Structure 1
Amino acid sequence: MALLFGGVLGLLVYLRPTSVVPPRDPPAAWVPSAAVGAAQAWLEGWERVTYDWRVRELGERSERPDEAVVIAIDDETLAEARQDSRPGVATQPWPRQLVGRMVHRLVQEGALLVLVDLPFTDLSPNACVPPAPAGPSCDDAAFAALLEREPGRALLAFTWEAQGPRVLPPANRLWPYRAKLGVYESSEAAYLRAQAVLAGQRPAFIIPAGSQVEVWGGAMDEADARGLGARLGAPTLILEPRRAADDTYRVGPTELFVALTEVQVEGLEATDLIELRHLEHPVVPLLGGSSGYGASTLLAGRDGRVRAMPHLVSYTVRGKRHILPSLPLAAAMRLAGTRSLRYAEGRLHVGDTYAFPMSRAGISLLRWDAPNVGRGSRGSLARSIRAWNVLLNVFDVEDERPARFENDLEGRTVVLTRTTGESAHLHTTPLGPRTPGGAILGQALANILRSDGITRAAPDLDLLLTVGLAFLGAFLALSLSFLLRSVRGAVLYVGFLVAAMAGYTFGAAYVFVEQRLWVAMAGPLLAMVGAFVATIRYAYGTERQIRDFVHNALGRYVSPDVARLVARDLSLMRPERRQMSVYVCDIEGFTRLSEGLPPEQLVGLFNDYLTEISAVVRATAGQVDKYIGDSVMAFWGAPVRTDRHAHLACEAALKMREVLAERQAPWEKKYGHRLSFRAAVDTGELVVGDLGSELKSHYTVLGDAVGMASRLEAINKVYGTFVLAGDTTAQLASGSYVFRVVDQVRFKGRAQPVRVHELVARRGELTPRMQEQLALHEQALTAYHQRRFAEAHALFERASMEYQDAVATLYTARCARFLVTPPPADWDGVHGVDEVGPTASAA
């Protein structure tokens, strides 16, 4: 069961998706994709629940980072802007040059970098605002000029989609000529020249020329070409007809953007990353060398929650895949002053400054530094500032007034973003349902700057944990199954499982909080519970089989305590030699009784008798061995070992006398007869075990004490006693029970005589009359063995008359015989079995 649950769930954990983006390629034909996919999704859903809980626990123990600050274009900012009379402020979207003035002001207030998380995918729809230059895209040009004033301090965002068909710009055939605009040594310079061409809404071509590259621009005719050259500062102009082959070197806005944005990563292949199908990048006028670019796209899981940041993605241009960074990663590269990225041992190294966990798919799990979304627009960050405060500072400085707000941005990175109530700007995260996207970018940047993050455990480790907990669940279920025999035990049984689950949960949470390591929780816990429940069923079935075996071997009347102990340790049934006590009893006059009762009544009476006898044996931890006609044989000391077997056998004998005495009246009323029995107990070394043939076996005992108990039971009739005991039994139990010596007998086939005792009563229950009788018997027996037969005769006769003592009556007859014919001189008081009485021989 452990292997089944651990293997199945472990395989699902091991084959977990490595990317948050579903693969486009169909799975292999042999994989039952629908069933496996559904199972993985179900298991991963539960795992995400445990992950979110651990994330919040980690957030409880963290401090909100202040390395990044959100500049929020929130509802209050837009409400204030709608009431303002300055040009362009009340419109939406704002003129881009207004955004540029905000960027400039933020840098002046000490911001290290400004991450502009706003869309600039189309030319600005706003008219120019003085003193911007005139032209159809003067707003974009003014924005670019403002960014040029702060070179390297602003990063613009782009977005992407990983699904859907690839969208390629159509080849433009409306430009029949191409004009040569310059020859450059580096591709970077060539791309900057191409950007100027593309900004004029005409195609650009970058054509290799040996070790150099040439930049050409599309032209309608010679005059158009001369105008283009004049605008771009290329007075010497070469004009050629455009050929179809030129489209191979054509550079569109996307190609230009990719060339300006791409990064090189040592140790990581572009094929390992998410491949993009579509880019939404800033318009050409904003593609310059002074700005940086990074992706602001956030990926949500199947449940719609954002838990990770895709820091590296790939995009294919003319058959070659290029690696593009996220906005936080691009910012970290600027802050570190490097373009060098290296991937090693599950971490992405940004130069020698930062190194943070990242999967080979380019995705980093976010380490949230708060347990919930903060007030306003800060998310898990320490601070957020309304964009309106920044705008007022812009206006104050331009009006030569002191800035009214002290935003405390010195040495920090800011994220300028929209955080209005529109759903596109708010995301569901483990912290809550309304986390601003800009705050998520800020948290991702803080993770990089702190070289921090969450590492997911290797699939091998999760597989090992899943299988290990499955075996732990099975072990607990098997080793503690004995607790299921009571309600309290069942509660304790389940409590052990809950404790084990809580222990693993605590351990997984501790590793997550202290080591930032995400080990699987749902799979291992489900495997443990599944194996536990399945093993309970197995254990229940096995225990039932063992219980049936125990009852078959030991008999139906075995004590539950004994059965429970034997079921827990079957080695108790192993054959061995040990000291034990054997009990044999027989109904007096059963033959005569059986002939006088109808079969139905005889069976009913007999069954009632055996039930009472067996119940007493069971109550004293004994084992009913067998029924032989009206005889019952029982033993103590096996299968559960005890040193008090003689005491228990004697106690059983006395209890049987008491129980049968209570049952005499009901039996006589029901069946018309009374029952009396005679019994014997003997103790000795016996072989005990499951003995028999292949067809039938029985847990029983073999040894001299068995035969001796049977012989002692038989000679009860001679002495008129009810319970006789062997000498060893009397010695072991004399501390708790009272015995009197009856005789010394040499049985046929035995060289050594046997001292025979009668079990009289429990110590402490002797009446004064019984004490007087025992004292008189001992005095008479002493005189008898000292050959003072006249004295012994008188004493035994007195005991026989006063106490109706059958043993004394037998000795009275012996003494009378010895008075007539004395025994020989070597007489030792031992009588042979034939001398004891006629029934003794029969035994």
Structure 2
Amino acid sequence: MQGHRVHFAGRRFLKRLGVSLLMALFFGGVLGLLVYLRPAGVVPARESSRAWVPTAVFDTAQGWLDGWERVTYDWRVRVLGERSERPDEAVVIAIDDETLAEARQDVRPGVAAQPWPRQLVGRMVHRLVQEGALFVLVDLPFTDLSPNACTGAAPPHAMSCDDAAFAALLEKDPGRALLGFTWESQGPRVLPPANRLWPYRVKLGLYDAPAQAHARAQAVLAAQRPAFILPAGSQIEVWAGVTDEADGKALGARLGATTPILEERRAADDAYRVGPTELFVAMSAVEVVGLDAAELVELRHLQHPVVPLLGAGAGFGATTLLADPDGQVRAIPHLVSHTLRGRRYILPSLPLAAAMRLAETRTLRYEDGKLHVGDAYAIPMSPSGLSLLRWDAPNVGRGSRGSLARSIRAWNVLLNVFDVADERPARFENDLEGRTVILTKTAGEPGHVRATPMGAETPSGAILGQALANLLRSDGITRASPDLDLLLTVGLAFLGAFLALSLSFLLRSVRGAVLYVGFLVAAGAGYAFGAAYVFVEQRLWVAMAGPLLAMVGAFVVTIRYAYGTERQIRDFVHNALGRYVSPDVARLVARDLSLMRPERRQMSVYVCDIEGFTRISEGLPPEQLVGLFNAYLTEIAAVVRATAGQVDKYIGDSVMAFWGAPVRTDRHAHLACEAALKMHEVLAECQDAWEKKYGHRLTFRAAVDTGELVVGDLGSEMKSNYTVLGDAVGLASRLEAINKVYGTHVLAGETTAQLASSSYVFRMVDHVRFPGRAQPVRVHELVARRGELTPRMQEQLALHEQALTAYHQRRFAEAHALFERAAHEFLDTVAVLYAERCARFLVTPPPADWDGVHGVDASGPSAAAA
């Protein structure tokens, strides 16, 4: 048998090894594939990269995995934010609710209305520059001509004097303001409406630099005429479409052309025609070395500032923020592409445009996963143009600052504007020297706040400010390569399988199972905190959800297989040791066969039998007798198992059980007492059903004793049993037998009463001497749980203690009266016995050396069984 067991264990290990390796390959391969073919940020993966994968299944699985990965990413972002300081390089100037509330009460022209006149915005931009701002990023829409009238002088030739006034104010601080534009990447491309035919064209100038030509073309477009930029050798000509010669002369004079040249328009001129969008793209486009523009987000709709604002006095950058599928903004598209007339242009974000101006460069270079802004700044960016935001705070601050150090109400800037206009000192010191400001709106439309890992309502201007701070600090988040994430996923899958394989022996006990799962939790937590450490210290985002799920999946499946093999071991133990072995014994023996050898420990023993069972057995047919007896034993065994005890044996109608082995516990006395009380409760519930089915009600007597016992696998080679031996076993049997002497139901020894007295109530019954035992034994009755003692029971116990004290002090008359009272008021069978003793002692007093010990004969079926 031993040889068979060794062979079986070796084969079982090989099977587990094979299953664990298979599960590691399966979970590591599947989840690794999902991690490896992840989408690049919010840009959908290109179909050609995984055309061989079932699209619907793959997208569903990957979306689920990416959702969990985003949760872990957000946690790491907040951990990093807790260890950071809010940046002060960028300051938000917020048109917030308080600003609008103050503006509505102001009497100055245009201040109370929304939107504000653009020349008022221009005055604010000019004031911010005067207060020391390096650049002003205007995160406000100017996609339509201003509906507001001018409040002062404006160029007379402008179609919108408000827009012209705004443009003139921007020209006061050339290059210091940057206007935002927005875009959309979905839907069909919208073509500009066709203009009426312009049969002639007039030449408005010859220029050496594209910037000069663009400025002249902007003036043409502002006059609502088509513009043409034609190459002329090394120079550039700018023409405007006109209806006739008189119209050409008038337009030339209006735009300051000294000698306008009029020609008929040719069909070839349309290739050089410049509309507002073409002009805007030409002015804002950037060149990036080392980047494939085809990988960038392709724009379908472009909402740029109106033509009067497309002057040389301002720069331009995108303010559009892309959200992940869960609606949160985690990255900013620093570069996007737009195709016009077959040519692809690259457009920058507003923060990137500001960084380029701060670095005084137009050169961008993409190399080794980073976007270099000249030689001044470098930030991690994916080939799709997305840069993960490195948040410098764990949550959005109060007001409009988001994760930045400061935000200022736009009303404070407006008041400074008005004070300076009225030749008064500015009342607010905004401390903007050497900083870049973002003029944005945080009140009104919901589009001005976005959900981010920092909070559900993060102002969009503050997000742009954080992106700018990342650029100026050359600090951002780099996502690990797909190869590294795949390696980690497969590696953790094998780790999970290894843990399940090497620690499966712990499943043989509850404590071991807890420890077993603890190793998995510890391994997962170790990887999670390792990934967080790498994220915080190196700004590297390695996959967390995929590797952890691969580890857990391989672990769980392997352990389920291991658990099945453990069940085979338990079946072997049951077959070897008998069908009565308890689950606890089976687990311990399967783990360590040395437990079958005897050992000595303190334990509690319980013995009970049915009162009058001989009479019942003689009056029932065998089938009914067996049915009743089995039902009784089933209830008894269930209670023993429920209290972590072990049913030792059945001897006729007697049941023997013990606590404290094989599972060690210091509360074995408590558990034995709890089982005794619970048995009475359970059997009381069954009495009516038994009487109806079998015609009998069952009453049983029980006893509990505690002592040093020998426990182990005892028996012969043909049959063995996990059982106990010792004095406490015999004493428990004798105590059970003398229940009929005192009319009690559950008696307990002295040690049991002492150990369990904190939770259970006992009363002293007698001090007895059993035949064959030199030392007398204090016998106690188990009364109730401490929390369930009724006032009537307390009164009975107090009366019994008073009577027992008088009895042992030889005041037999007093004791007799008290016991008689207890017998009549409480129907106390113990009191009846003592009343009879007291009556005898009143007639014949005990000798002078009487110590209160009473001799009893515990002979009977139970005693014999012991």
TM interval, shorter chain, is: 0.5 to 0.7
**AA in 2 matched with 1:45:** G
Distance 1:552 1:464 in 2: 46
Distance 2:233 2:534 in 1: 57
Q: State the Cα distance separating 1:133 from its structure 2 match.
A: 3.4
Deviations, residues 412-469 of structure 1 (Å, cap 9, x unaligned): 1000000104211010000111110000000000001011011111111111111111
Cα pair 1:73 1:420 within 8 Å, conserved: yes
Pair 74,507 (structure 1): closer, same or farther in 2 beyond 3 Å: same
**AA in 2 matched with 1:179:** V
From 8, 14, 21, give the equivalent of 2:43.
21
> Is residue 137 of structure 2 the alignment partner of residue 110 of structure 1?
no
Distance 1:115 1:560 in 2: 71
Pair 546,138 (structure 1): closer, same or farther in 2 beyond 3 Å: same
**AA in 2 matched with 1:99:** V
Following superposition of structure 1 onto structure 2, how do residues 424-573 of structure 1 map, counting pairs within 5 Å? 424-544=447-567, 563-564=590-591
Cα pair 2:574 2:586 within 8 Å, conserved: no
> Is residue 169 of structure 2 the alignment partner of residue 142 of structure 1?
no
Q: Which residue of 2 aligns with 1:59?
A: 81
**AA in 2 matched with 1:8:** V
From 213, 218, 232, give the equivalent of 1:190.
213
Pair 370,236 (structure 1): closer, same or farther in 2 beyond 3 Å: same
From 77, 88, 98, give the equivalent of 2:99.
77
Pair 649,492 (structure 1): closer, same or farther in 2 beyond 3 Å: closer
Pair 486,565 (structure 1): closer, same or farther in 2 beyond 3 Å: closer
From 90, 96, 112, give the equivalent of 2:112.
90
> Is residue 413 of structure 2 the alignment partner of residue 390 of structure 1?
yes
From 178, 189, 203, give the equivalent of 2:201.
178
Cα pair 1:551 1:563 within 8 Å, conserved: no
From 386, 389, 399, give the equivalent of 1:376.
399
Following superposition of structure 1 onto structure 2, how do residues 625-640 of structure 1 map, counting pairs within 5 Å? none
**AA in 2 matched with 1:73:** I
Cα pair 2:288 2:365 within 8 Å, conserved: yes
> Is residue 341 of structure 2 the alignment partner of residue 318 of structure 1?
yes
Q: Which residue of 2 aligns with 1:329?
A: 352
Equivalent pairs counted in the alignment come to 586
Distance 1:387 1:329 in 2: 24
Q: Which residue of 1 aligns with 2:183?
A: 160
Q: State the Cα distance separating 1:249 from its structure 2 match.
A: 1.1
Pair 253,438 (structure 1): closer, same or farther in 2 beyond 3 Å: same
What secondary structure does 2:484 align onto?
helix
Of structures 1 and 2, the larger Rg is shown by 1
Q: Which residue of 2 aligns with 1:811?
A: none
From 225, 244, 261, give the equivalent of 2:284.
261
Q: Which residue of 1 aligns with 2:229?
A: 206
What secondary structure does 2:330 align onto?
strand
Q: State the Cα distance separating 1:563 from its structure 2 match.
A: 4.4
Q: Percent identity?
A: 79
Pair 372,2 (structure 1): closer, same or farther in 2 beyond 3 Å: same
Q: State the Cα distance separating 1:21 from its structure 2 match.
A: 2.8
Following superposition of structure 1 onto structure 2, how do residues 237-316 of structure 1 map, counting pairs within 5 Å? 237-316=260-339
Q: Which residue of 2 aligns with 1:689?
A: none
Cα pair 1:27 1:33 within 8 Å, conserved: no
Cα pair 1:425 1:437 within 8 Å, conserved: yes
Deviations, residues 13-39 of structure 1 (Å, cap 9, x unaligned): 111001413368688653311110011
Q: Which residue of 1 aligns with 2:71?
A: 49
Q: State the Cα distance separating 1:323 from its structure 2 match.
A: 0.7
> Is residue 255 of structure 2 the alignment partner of residue 228 of structure 1?
no
Q: State the Cα distance separating 1:349 from its structure 2 match.
A: 0.9
Q: State the Cα distance separating 1:493 from its structure 2 match.
A: 1.0
What secondary structure does 1:463 align onto?
helix
Q: State the Cα distance separating 1:41 from its structure 2 match.
A: 0.6
**AA in 2 matched with 1:320:** R
Distance 2:467 2:238 in 1: 39
Pair 403,482 (structure 1): closer, same or farther in 2 beyond 3 Å: same
Q: Which residue of 2 aligns with 1:792?
A: none
Q: State the Cα distance separating 1:382 from its structure 2 match.
A: 0.6
Cα pair 2:178 2:354 within 8 Å, conserved: yes
Cα pair 2:569 2:590 within 8 Å, conserved: no
Distance 1:390 1:563 in 2: 80
Q: State the Cα distance separating 1:188 from its structure 2 match.
A: 2.5
**AA in 1 matched with 2:591:** R
Cα pair 2:170 2:313 within 8 Å, conserved: yes
Q: Which residue of 1 aligns with 2:698?
A: none
Distance 1:538 1:424 in 2: 53
**AA in 1 matched with 2:194:** A
Distance 1:373 1:304 in 2: 17
Distance 1:157 1:560 in 2: 71
**AA in 1 matched with 2:537:** E
From 6, 11, 14, give the equivalent of 2:33.
11
Distance 2:713 2:452 in 1: 74
Distance 1:96 1:80 in 2: 18
Cα pair 2:507 2:563 within 8 Å, conserved: no
Cα pair 2:183 2:302 within 8 Å, conserved: yes
Q: Which residue of 1 aligns with 2:24?
A: 2
What secondary structure does 1:306 align onto?
coil
Greater CA drift, 101-110 or 413-422: 413-422
Distance 2:32 2:249 in 1: 70
What secondary structure does 2:182 align onto?
strand
Cα pair 2:277 2:304 within 8 Å, conserved: yes
Distance 2:714 2:516 in 1: 39
Cα pair 2:508 2:588 within 8 Å, conserved: no
Pair 245,3 (structure 1): closer, same or farther in 2 beyond 3 Å: same
Q: State the Cα distance separating 1:244 from its structure 2 match.
A: 2.9
TM-score, scaled to structure 1? 0.66
**AA in 1 matched with 2:87:** P
Pair 543,25 (structure 1): closer, same or farther in 2 beyond 3 Å: closer
TM-score, scaled to structure 2? 0.64
Cα pair 1:312 1:326 within 8 Å, conserved: yes
